[in-house]
Amino acid sequence: MTTSSIITSAMQAAVGAVGERQTVDIERGAILRFAAAIGDANPAYPDRAPPTFLRSLGRAVPDLPDADSVPRALDGGSQWTYGPPVRAGDTVEITTTLDSIKEAQGKLGAMVIADYATRYVNQHGETVATQRNTVIRMGVLA
């Protein structure tokens, strides 16, 4: 079913969808490589992970139906809230929910703004971080 909006009914119906839960072991080597890639020589690493390291663990974002109509994706930003530190040797479970979608008009035409909420929980059941991430999707330029 089509509407005048670029948000299709299938897209709208996907709000609340949860991606596959991932379970990841936090490895010292992965922390070191991540810190080196940022250029961050903080002596707290690799015993602890840098704040944005969690993003590298590969969250599974729930599918956005009809994404072919807006194939160009840009990261709009994130809000992170932290609990206890993430340490090498931890095991972290990650789940991502499609929290909301809305339409906006940008310089380059209509855009779909998708907000995802990701929760990271360690082996003690503690929420080590939550991330709200905005993804901006657009059509390819003519």
Binding site for another protein (CB under 8 A): 30, 33-34, 36-40, 42-44, 50-52, 55-56, 58, 72-82, 108, 140-141
Q: How many CA atoms lie less than 13 Å away from 87 in the CB half-sphere?
A: 7
Q: Report in angstroms how near the CB of residue 2 gets to another protein at its nearest.
A: 25
For the CB of residue 85, give the shortest distance to another protein in the complex, in Å.
8
Q: Closest CB to another protein among 16 and 109?
A: 109
- Cα separation, 31 vs 113, whole angstroms: 31
User: Helix, strand, coil: what percent of the chain each, to 5?
Assistant: 20, 40, 40
Closer residue to another protein (CB): 66 or 82: 82
Q: How far apart are CA 22 and CA 34, in angstroms?
A: 19
- Smallest distance from the beta carbon of 63 to another protein, in angstroms? 17
What would the two tokens of residue 64 be?
A: 């956005």
Nearer residue to another protein within complex by CB, 28 or 80: 80
Find residue 127's DSSP bridge partners. Answer: 121
Least CB distance to another protein at residue 72 (A) = 6
55 vs 119 by CB, closer to another protein: 55
Between CA 85 and CA 32 the distance in angstroms is: 16
End-to-end alpha carbon distance in the chain: 25
